[in-house]
Amino acid sequence: MEHTNQILWKSKAFTLAEVLITLAIIGIVAALTLPIFYNNYQKKVYSEQLKVSYSILSTGFKQMLFNSEVTKFEESEAYGELQKKGFDISGYGDSNIVEIELMKKYFNAPVQISYSQQVKEGWPNGNNVYTGDTCKKFAGKGSTWYKRSRKSCIGLRQNVYKLANGSLVRMGFLDAYPEVENSGHMKRMIAEVTIDVNGEKGPNAFGSDAFEFALGNDGNLYAWWDDSFARYFAAVYNDDYANYYYVLKDGTDLCKDLLYNGRACAAYAEEHDWDLY
């Protein structure tokens, strides 16, 4: 009987080869699944950061209207102060000082990376699409430059502000866009706003951690390429709504398919309860 038990015990044991094969299989499965779990986790973190950042900015802009007892941003004291100094989207000149004061007062957001620092470090003036060494040197460093694709980037020299939740924000107030009554919710665009949800950390790429918005004259933030954005610009340029909305006529999603290099992903997030695809 003892001899029989020994045989049964030996038959149930694993050989070293079997153990190594099992560990190899586990390793392969982990290598395949862990990045997926991590990416999903990152998206949830970014989604929450974007939602909170949007709320902070929306509250601040609404407070500007409330303090001036007006319903249009162009009639607010804040806008008036900016207008007196002359609008400069680059973040330079006297309007730069006013913008810094407004960001501290209404958003408790100090300057994280200044326009003057970018000039000193030789950052290009921007507002163009760049490739090659320029992107390698400047994109992905927590400033005003963001990747559009693997080979191209775009950016401006602008002050970068840090919100209380750690997100970085750049913005440029404008005085050029008209008011259009039949454009839907957004009647006039007052400023461009970019939110970088994870601060100075990478990848600093549109659609991943950087998202674009337009500030309307009503004090609301509208995602770049959302329904309100599309209606407004279609009315301004007497053009087809489909040319400005993130979902094309054929159903193509400019965020999920990244045909527009991620710059339409703020619209997707806004219309999907801040869920980043």
> DSSP letters of 201-226?
-S--BBTTTEEEEEEETTS-EEETTS
Low-confidence ranges of the chain (pLDDT < 50): 8-9, 38, 91
Query: What pLDDT is recorded for position 176?
Result: 82
Q: What are phi and psi of 273, to 5 degrees?
A: 55, 40
Closest CA to 148 of 233, 99, 206, 67: 206
Query: What pLDDT is recorded for position 141?
Result: 59
Query: What pLDDT is recorded for position 124?
Result: 78
Q: How many residues does the chain have?
A: 277
Strand pairing partners for 223? 213
Query: What pLDDT is recorded for position 259?
Result: 54
Query: What pLDDT is recorded for position 34?
Result: 53
Q: Which two tokens stand for residue 10?
A: 């030996």
Closest CA to 155 of 125, 176, 178, 184: 125
Rounded distance, CA 146 to CA 209, Å?
Answer: 10
Other CB atoms within 10 Å distance of the CB of residue 117: 15
Rounded distance, CA 229 to CA 244, Å?
Answer: 7
